[in-house]
Amino acid sequence: MNPASLDEAKRLMRNFQFPRPLSPERSSDGGRAISNFQKAQIVICPPFVYLSALADYRSTRIKNRSTLIKLGAQDVFYESEGSYTGEISPPMLRDIGVKYVIIGHSERRALGETNEIVAKKIGACLKYLLTPIVCIGESSRDESGNYFSFIRTQIEEIFKNIPRSALNKIVIAYEPIWAIGKKAIREATPAESEEMAIFIRKVLSNIYDQVNASQVILLYGGSVNIKNAREFLKSGGVDGLLVGRDSLDAKKFTEIVKTR
């Protein structure tokens, strides 16, 4: 539930835009950081109440850079219409320009969201051409490795009815719950992220096949910050990052985006 106002949300989006870059000859890093930014796929997922206004703001005020930033929602309901007071449907999101939806975030699961509900939401998103960012992750790690079974169950229950042809339209975000927020036991390491990325693709390979499993985009999300972003991208076995707290600081988020 951040930021606290629409004005602040607009300010953050405005400040995520870089000034026109220096030429590589005049840039301290040879233009590498700006080049990384231009190649990045950036998805901003604000609260529902800001989405429509930010879609308009993005297209009118920052239109020269708007293609660099896609809008995503933090959740969605699995029905397209009906008597579901307070819920937001996939066609509603698509109608205002939303392209991505976070599904199954650990904080939603803490409120009772199950693997079955997550699977239904994925299906609803795919039907309306929205890209689901599916969160999976264990709440704790044990020496005997039972957390692998937990992750396997999550994936098998979520993807059992998802067709092979849809796999390359889905993003998976691994978020170790034990490494998130104020109650975090410690930060996860890039080695732990890589280990889980390999395991996730293995489980997907068992459900589908190795070729299709390799096409899934994997993100790491667990207390990502400007200090550890580069190592997770370099050695964590992932294609990108799901950024939480540091996405509310335009300068920090900008530095993370330029990291590669």
User: In degrees, to the nearest 5, what angle opens at C-alpha 151 toward C-alphas 41 and 191?
Assistant: 65
Q: CA-CA distance, 52 to 85, in Å (whole number)?
A: 19
- Told to judge if 138 belongs to the known catalytic residues of this protein, a careful annotator would answer no
Which residue among 81, 113, 116, 175 is the active-site one? 175
How many C-alpha atoms does 149 have within 13 Å on its Cβ side?
5
Q: What does the longest C-alpha to C-alpha distance in the chain come to?
A: 60
**Nearest by Cα to 123 from 61, 169, 155, 156:** 169
Which residue among 105, 113, 138, 192 is the active-site one? 105
* Separation in Å, CA 260 to CA 94, 122, 249: 31, 29, 19
Q: Check if the beta carbon of residue 259 is closer than 8 Å to that of residue 229.
A: yes
Q: Check if the beta carbon of residue 170 is closer than 8 Å to that of residue 204.
A: no
Q: CA-CA distance, 154 to 115, in Å (whole number)?
A: 6
Q: CA-CA distance, 245 to 61, in Å (whole number)?
A: 25
Task: Tell whether omega for the bond before 91 is within 30 degrees of 0, i.e. cis.
Answer: no
- Told to judge if 105 belongs to the known catalytic residues of this protein, a careful annotator would answer yes
State which amino acid sits at residue 129: L
Residues designated as active site: 105, 175
